[in-house]
Structure 1
């Protein structure tokens, strides 16, 4: 393999020590040096550059990693494999760091923010040679003297683009050499250099050439001596490389000619220039001398005036679209090259804006004297303006008179709508209507429940009442408008009440709180015992004492001003006693009588804890709810007949006091 040592010209490295700037080419991802695997690079000097923070994956976040005093290099992988390379400082006491990024399909600035771009790196504090080799043991070495100076060779993917950042942490400005060896990946472009296409531009007599890949800017002579027009119809006087002001390589060249070329067929051929080469790619591979590209120059034609961008709602300007560019200088700034007439609201053209690139514009914006809000039929005619011409093409051909473009404007629209509500007990209906004025032909109604309707007069039915939101969007095909309105369906009726307690102890009185909502005109209470009530909130009610539990159903029926009704029902229970007690004996024989041990009548208890112990102190049962009962079993087996101790504690919810009790009960069989 032939190795070439490329010296980076010192005129690119003009930054002086202590100047905190990163303006030298190669110091940013956007201006990276192109490299390949068949040559080594010698960087003679590293200009100062404070750099930007890079969040290195897997390294401590308290350490700030930066591309300080860095140069960036770019390359493409043409064959997948591993990448081996070495960085050898000119001063072996310098500490060089590096990081490799995969930037395929990404914004190049993602290297600073997106950890997914990172492929490998080495930030070891050990001075001297560094890089990636088979001796490396880590993919990325973090900062510190304990970190290895060599990293594992990263694996590259064919077709992916990569950036290599090399940073001089020592601030010495001494340079380094970069060479690639040891890996299996191929980063040398195998594509032979060639022309892709060429085109002639009448303006300034230039030929633009597109190349099939990127070539070094420095291999193009300013006089363009690498190019010739076959047959000598014209001579090349100068050459410009596109994008070389912000980087080191190019894929497009513009040639200046010494005379205009008449219509016909031509060929541009490449040869060795005065620098003894054609154009060289990143690996110094040339476009082969003698390669050529053909192009044709048609008979110059005028640019027709026949197309404008679709006119939008409320236009105050019109955009003219051209099939080919015209000379910016041929368009009068006052818009006098265009004349407006029509049957709609009176407006006129007051100015014309061009969007020039290299003295040419492919569109023209005509500014009107006012905004058009109503229907209108207009026509724009091309005329000779105050500059005494119409539009002139790049090749100097003037568009003849007689060209015109018609267009129409549409009324602005108003989405305000009318509505009417019909209230009912089960179904409420909102009748909606839009008048369709100003040519509206599209209606979209949207509701707060996520549904939508179309047409000018839909009907929306609700079974759940309350505040509703209606939004209407209308259009006449050009103009749109929307209007939102909230509509209250205020006939919601709901019967609701609460009882002071679900269980009534002897002498307790039941009291009721009415929580019903709606335009209620009557209440009907049925307590399940005794007389009913028509009051909004009935008086406290006492149920009769009984020797056993009794259940009563309490019902409330409400009626509103629409004669709609709603009903709710609750049950409550009366008990003969609320005195908490634990039986002194129980017989767990499943005869339905006294089969369990538990604290009876715990209706007014809270935070209860009930425990049962055997004679030897073993805990055999525990519960925190008074209705959970001991069935006389221990670990699923019947307990022995005998005496068992119990402990009970709870809060009396009526008095708010804590109660502690203990005793014994006898298990009998």
Structure 2
């Protein structure tokens, strides 16, 4: 079904009436799909109302909602690869039917609503009348609309794959049905396997025989009185009823349970099939029968007692014990108070106070015994089968009571504690954490996990660090049954780092140099070397002035810090003392690449901001512009050498020391 997101009101009312209906009849959901056969036409006289669910079609326009409205679902298997051709013919030629095909091999059939990769082909055309897949189709997928073709091209099937075909009745005003017929393609969807028995097994409880078939057959072809079956063997018994497994929620079955009118003694027997009261044996989806006279043998052994000899492994701090049985016993033979079992041992005193059975059809193959309290310590125990308050031990399906004397031993383990001790050794380059677990309570497995992702597995590991600071250590410990974990955070507080800031990278004449210490660590001493003068031992030294010089000079300033472990760290920073900070533009320059006055630029612009420097030619044209005083004019215009002569310049900037705006202009002679 498809809905335009923008729709008219009358149509919306009709849709809402349909949405109120549930998809309860068999065949209207993927899980209860009809089994179909390629050689058999299927007639649906009417289509029950069903709102359906949204099916996402990524190849169709997103403004339309597609839904399996009033659907029937069909399932089949491809036995020979090829193309699939089929026709959906409405009983009412004015009805609009849509369809979608899915490959559900190995998938949950409900995935058709969420996994678009399962889609094989489909047709949602709005044209009324017959639809399907045929040689007349031009594309595998037709979306909603009158412009879309009513016939799609035949999809290609893969041998061994399982498919679901959904047929949707979009015409909600009618419940008229249709005929579905296959033909025109090359794929084979008709099961060629002859029907047969696989196994038969006798169950004493209620005198039943469970039969496994080699493929699925129609539930409707099984007579409720079981008249298709007869029992032949050492003793006689009549079949009084037959039930197909899973027939309450579907159309086909591959297992049948027969009920006999009396118990059968031990011996050799055969189940034989014949035409029943309904005139047939069992029919598959193509109405092919299991041949009358086919049979399967089974043996009824002399009934034996079910032994009590196995329990699930006992975990840490057990409060329950799980008993496992090799064959089922009657649920009614197990006393709810657990008195069929007696617990004794060398560990802490506990008793069995309850028995919980997990019953299926009056039988159970597992029993959960609840203890009077948890067992925290190690101990050796034994569970003995005794006669309970109900007057018996366990009783098998065939009524045989397990004799006394069965004993199952087990042990419990002590709980463990992951608390650990540690010692920290601090050093200048390497810090070491010495870890230790006491190994108590039978601990034999250790996993240490550190914040850097590394792990260790010994009881007393040593972790070495070259990067200090906060560290995290987690220990997971086990004795093979019980586990525990513990985490500690530790501080390696001997991080030492020398660092300082300089007030300016460039010192103009008469400027004072100052230094701000930013070192970290447990520092006990500082040694400053300014590359001039005596240095300092202060944390933050006093500002001082480097000597005046006729040339620029770079000084390497060094700080050495020492901590309480006598560890040291050193850092260097450079500071440049310049001969002048007076901004000036040369009166001449010679761009001849001799290394002397090759460029024109504002000199000494160390204390400038928002600078603009422009150079103009003799005719007033701008030949150079810079906003950084270190950007220099190389005496070229558009890449070609400028002519010898006089060039005007204009300079403006903000003096960062005084905060005022400065404007200058002048001329410079270009020489060659």
Q: Normalising by the residue count of structure 2, what TM-score does the alignment of the two structures yield? A: 0.91
What secondary structure does 2:264 align onto?
coil
Q: Which whole-Å CA distance do the structure 2 matches of 1:140 and 1:663 have between them?
A: 81
> Residues of 2 paired with 1:113 and 1:516: CA distance?
61
* Alignment match, 2:39: 38
SS in 1 for 2:202: strand
Compare 632-641 and 182-191 and name the one that shifted more: 632-641
Cα distance between partner residues in 2 of 1:31 and 1:394: 33
Q: Does 1:71 pair with 2:75?
A: no
Which SS does the other structure have where 1:135 is aligned? coil
Partner of residue 335, structure 2: 332
Alpha-carbon distance change, 285 to 422 in structure 1, aligned in 2, over 3 angstroms: same
CA apart distance, 1:376: 0.9
Cα distance change on mapping 1:288 and 1:424 into 2, 3 Å: same
Deviation of 1:517 after TM superposition, in Å, equals 1.2
Q: Are the equivalent residues in 2 in contact too, given 1:17–1:47 (CA < 8 A)?
A: no
Cα deviations across residues 407-441 of structure 1 (Å, max 9, x unaligned)? 11111111011111111111111111111111111
Q: Is the 8 A contact 2:82 2:188 kept in 1?
A: yes
**Does 2:304 align with 1:301?**
yes
Q: Which segment is superposed worse, 318-327 or 83-92?
A: 83-92
How far off is 1:124 after superposition? 2.2
Q: C-alpha separation between the residues in 2 aligned to 1:359 and 1:572?
A: 94
Whether the 8 Å contact between 2:523 and 2:561 is mirrored in structure 1 is yes
For the pair 1:355 / 2:369, whether they are aligned, the reply is no
- Bigger shift: residues 572-581 or 151-160: 572-581
Cα deviation code 1:424-481 (max 9, x no counterpart): 1111111111111111111111110111112221111111111110101111111110
**Counterpart in 2 of 1:9?**
none
Correspondent of 1:179 among 177, 181, 192: 181
Can you give the 5+ residue segments of structure 1 that lack an aligned partner in the other structure?
1-15
Q: Matches of 1:427 and 1:88 in 2, distance apart?
A: 85
Structure 1 range deviating more: 647-656 or 402-411: 647-656
Q: For 1:509, which of 503, 512, 517 is the aligned residue?
A: 512
- Cα distance in 1 for partners of 2:475, 2:216 equals 56
- RMSD over aligned Cα, in angstroms? 2.5
Partner of 2:168: 167
Given that 2:19 and 2:51 are in contact with CA atoms closer than 8 Å, whether structure 1 keeps it comes out as no
| SS of corresponding position for 1:111 | helix
Q: 1:410-429 counterparts in 2 under 5 A?
A: 410-429=413-432
Q: CA separation in 2, counterparts of 1:600 and 1:66?
A: 80
**Any idea what SS the aligned residue of 2:139 has?**
coil
- For the 8 Å contact 2:18–2:50, the answer to whether it is kept is no
Q: Deviations over 1:484-540 (max 9, x none)?
A: 111111111111111222222333322222211111122221222223122222222
2:10 maps to what in 1?
A: none
- 1:629–1:265 distance in 2 versus 1, CA, 3 Å: farther
1:555–1:205: structure 2 CA closer, same or farther, 3 Å change rule?
same
Match of 1:310 in 2: 313
Counterpart for residue 544 of structure 1: 547
On the 8 A contact 1:55/1:61 being kept in 2, the answer is no
Name the CA shift for 1:299/1:512 in 2 (closer, same or farther; >3 Å). same
Deviation at residue 627 of structure 1 after TM alignment = 3.8
The answer on whether the counterparts of 2:91 and 2:177 sit within 8 Å (CA) in structure 1 is yes
**Structure 1's 513 and 262: CA in aligned 2 closer, same or farther, altered over 3 A?**
same
Tell whether the 8 Å contact from 1:651 to 1:657 is kept in structure 2 after alignment: yes
Distance 1:156 1:580 in 2: 87
Post-superposition shift, 1:600?
3.8
Shift in alpha-carbon separation, 1:50–1:620, aligned structure 2, 3 A: farther
Cα distance, 1:554–1:201 mapped onto 2, change above 3 Å: same
Q: Counterparts in 2 of 1:618-657, with a 5 A limit?
A: 626-632=629-635, 638=641, 640-641=643-644
Q: CA deviation at 1:224?
A: 1.5
Alignment of 1:141-156 (within 5 A): 141-156=142-157
Moved more, 106-115 or 241-250: 106-115
Is 1:204 aligned with 2:206? Answer: yes
Cα distance in 2 for partners of 1:133, 1:473 equals 66
Secondary structure of residue in 1 paired with 2:112:
helix
1:8 aligns to what?
none
**Inter-CA distance 421–23: structure 2 relative to 1 (3 Å threshold):** same
Specify whether residues 519 and 19 from structure 1 end up closer, same or farther in structure 2 by C-alpha distance, changes over 3 A only: closer
* The 10-residue stretch of structure 1 (597-606 or 237-246) with the greater mean CA deviation from structure 2: 597-606
Task: Tell me, in whole angstroms, the C-alpha distance in 2 between the residues paired with 1:152 and 1:655.
Answer: 86
Q: Take 1:35 and 1:310, find their aligned partners in 2: how far apart are those partners? A: 48
2:559·2:572 contact (CA, 8 Å) conserved in 1?
yes
Take 2:654 and 2:146, find their aligned partners in 1: how far apart are those partners? 68
What do residues 114-139 of structure 1 show as CA deviations (whole Å, max 9, x unaligned)? 22122222222222222222332333
- State whether structure 2 residue 191 is matched by structure 1 residue 216: no
CA spacing shift, 1:605–1:105, aligned 2, 3 Å: farther
Compared with structure 1, are the counterparts of its residues 152 and 346 closer, same or farther at alpha carbon in structure 2 (3 Å cutoff)?
A: same
Q: 1:639 Cα deviation (Å)?
A: 5.1
CA apart distance, 1:47:
1.3
**Aligned equivalent of 2:29:** 28
SS of 1:64 mapped into structure 2: strand
Equivalent position SS for 1:261 = coil
Query: Which whole-Å CA distance do the structure 2 matches of 1:656 and 1:391 have between them?
Result: 103
Aligned pair 1:118/2:119, yes or no?
yes
User: How far apart are residue 222 of structure 1 and its match?
Assistant: 0.7
In the alignment, what sits opposite 2:7?
none
**Partner of 2:195 in structure 1?**
193
Q: Structure 1 residues 597, 95: closer, same or farther in 2, change over 3 A?
A: farther
Contact 2:102 2:120 in 1 (8 A): yes
Match of 1:100 in 2: 101
Query: 1:553-606: per-residue Cα shift (whole Å, max 9, x none)?
Result: 111111122222111111111222344555454323221112234444344456
Q: Could you tell me how far 1:653 is from its partner in structure 2?
A: 5.4
8 A contact 2:20–2:51 mirrored in 1: no
Corresponding residue to 1:392 among 392, 395, 410? 395
Q: 1:17 to 1:515 in 2, by over 3 A?
A: closer
Q: Residues 284 and 643 of structure 1: is their aligned pair in 2 closer, same or farther, counting only changes over 3 Å?
A: farther
Pick one of 274, 283, 286 that aligns with 2:286: 283
Q: Secondary structure at the match of 2:31?
A: helix
SS at match of 2:200: strand
> What CA distance in whole angstroms lies between the structure 2 residues aligned with 1:277 and 1:422?
90
Q: State the SS of the aligned residue for 1:42.
A: strand
Worse-superposed segment, 274-283 or 319-328: 274-283
Q: Tell me by how many angstroms 1:552 deviates.
A: 0.8
Could you say what secondary structure the match of 1:517 adopts? coil
Gaps of 5+ in 2: 1-16
- Relative to structure 1, is the Cα distance of residues 89 and 461 closer, same or farther in structure 2, using a 3 angstrom cutoff? same
